[in-house]
Amino acid sequence: MFVTSAPGKVIIFGEHSAVYYKPAIAAAASSLRSYLLIETENITTNVLQLSFPNLKFQHKWSIENLSQLTDTHSLQSKTLSQSLLQTIDTALLSDIVNPLHKSAAQCFLYLYLSIIPPMHRSSLKCTLISTLPVGAGLGSSASVSVVLSQAFLKLAQCTLSPTLINEWAYVGEMVMHGKPSGIDNTIATYGGALQFIKDDPQNTKELFPKKPIVAILTYTRIPRSTKTLVSNVRVLYESMPEIVEPILDSMAHVALKGGDALQEAKLDDVLQLVRINHGLLVSLGVSHPGLEIIRNLTTELQVGETKLTGAGGGGCALTFLNNSASEQDVAQFRDTLNQRYDYQTFETTLGGIGCSLLDLNQITNKEQISAILDLFNSQNASMEQIDNNLLPGGPADLPWKI
């Protein structure tokens, strides 16, 4: 039995422009994570079981059926095979109608069938719990792709390396989104803070901010689809390239300057650039009145600057506080968002631990193991319970391998 874990991410500068090969800055939201429990013993034989309690979704497939369907596996091929995707859809997922269930199961089966060769396919139960809001712009899909890739590579007896995990997680992201930039899976794998350029590892580099980056994340609970928003921007780009290209170039300058400002802890510059980046995103049509509420309240209470983060259209906003924001101001800001609008706010330190692995056989304390298993078996474990019992570097002090 083992658990894999990976964080969500916050794009600080350059969402959407990242898809067009422009530099972007992102950091791990390392306390908001997905955790995948892998059980291979004392479970139903010759069955692959999936349990995603956050989505209230469970499913089972006979391993024999799966192997008949795809008797060859494509461990070498880290590109998206439309024919495998089609086979999965028609033969294994035709009974699933909920779109969230469908995309999660597609990603799960695609990675399972591609990574684990038939000789290593035996009875398996996979249970995934997460403290990340689903579909909110904090990279839950990438975090899920990373924990699945890491676990399946281990079951396939591959030597685990961050490069390999990240490559497969990108395939998982392609299953969910088509052609993403790859920034989310890269952060979920490596953790920390990065300046990222799509398909350009030479110019993707780690950032070392002088001061820890503390920010407030606000989840509007407004659902949206990354895939749709990215494709709306594509349509705009293709219809007015002479206008959209300079906006994307401007976002690239914002990201490069913003990365430097974060490293040098130049808060005034960071705040200006957050405001500019949000304005550019508004011009691309990816904001939402519910996000503007947060931005307007930040201005009204003069606590700092806010931008949308992730694909926008709902989901989450990121707020950096200015030095003059008092504790009362910040409390008023958060209380108003929580109480008047039913938004959820988190104070988060950005950066920290990327993907990690916990071998439950190494834990000798039986009570600790049963507390961990209870979290996966419960349908509604709270964020606090998960953090207390599982968070890498958290109070339970577990032997996570990074």
Ligand X SMILES: Nc1ncnc2c1ncn2[C@@H]1O[C@H](COP(=O)(O)OP(=O)(O)O)[C@@H](O)[C@H]1O
Residue with tokens 């304005």: 279
Instruction: Judge contact between 11 and 18, C-beta under 8 A.
Output: yes
> Does position 139 bind ligand PMV by CB under 6 A?
yes
Instruction: Judge contact between 214 and 347, C-beta under 8 A.
Output: yes
**192 conformational bin, left if phi > 0, alpha if psi -120 to 50, beta if neither:** left
Closer by beta carbon to ligand PMV, 48 or else 188 = 188
Pick the binder of Mg ion from 141, 306, 319, 389 (CB under 5 A).
141
- Closest distance to ligand PMV from the beta carbon of 176 (Å): 8
225 touches, from Mg ion, ligand PMV, ligand X, none (C-beta below 5 to 8 Å by class): ligand X
> Does position 180 bind ligand PMV by CB under 6 A?
yes
Pick the binder of ligand PMV from 66, 84, 183, 317 (CB under 6 A).
183
- Closest distance to ligand PMV from the beta carbon of 34 (Å): 13
In the set 71, 95, 184, 335, the catalytic residue is 184
For the record, the structure tokens of 26 come out as 């992102």
**What SS3 class is residue 368?**
helix
Closer by beta carbon to ligand X, 176 or else 303 = 176
- Closest distance to ligand X from the beta carbon of 198 (Å): 16
Instruction: Judge contact between 138 and 10, C-beta under 8 A.
Output: yes
> Does position 258 bind ligand PMV by CB under 6 A?
no
Angle at 164 between CA 123 and CA 191, to 5 degrees: 105
- Closest distance to ligand PMV from the beta carbon of 393 (Å): 23
230 touches, from Mg ion, ligand PMV, ligand X, none (C-beta below 5 to 8 Å by class): ligand PMV
> Does position 184 bind ligand PMV by CB under 6 A?
yes
What part of residues 213-232 is at the interface with ligand PMV (CB under 6 A)? Answer: 226, 230
Instruction: Judge contact between 316 and 8, C-beta under 8 A.
Output: no
Neighbours of 108 (CB within 10 A): 24
Torsion of CA 401, 352, 375, 309, to 10 degrees: -140
Q: Is 199 a catalytic residue?
A: no
Q: Site size for Mg ion, by CB under 5 A?
A: 2
> Does position 306 bind Mg ion by CB under 5 A?
no
- Closest distance to ligand X from the beta carbon of 315 (Å): 6
Residue nearest to ligand PMV (CB): 310
- Closest distance to ligand X from the beta carbon of 107 (Å): 6
CA distance 137 to 103: 16
Neighbours of 166 (CB within 10 A): 24
1 touches, from Mg ion, ligand X, ligand PMV, none (C-beta below 5 to 8 Å by class): none
> Does position 143 bind Mg ion by CB under 5 A?
no
Residue with tokens 């209470």: 301
What would the DSSP string read from start to end of 244-308?
Answer: HHHHHHHHHHHHHHHHHHHHTT-HHHHHHHHHHHHHHHHHTT---HHHHHHHHHHHHHT-EEEEE
Residues labelled catalytic: 184
Q: Report the interface residues with Mg ion, using CB under 5 A.
A: 141, 226
Q: Report the interface residues with ligand PMV, using CB under 6 A.
A: 11, 15-16, 18-19, 137-139, 141, 180-181, 183-184, 226, 230, 310-311
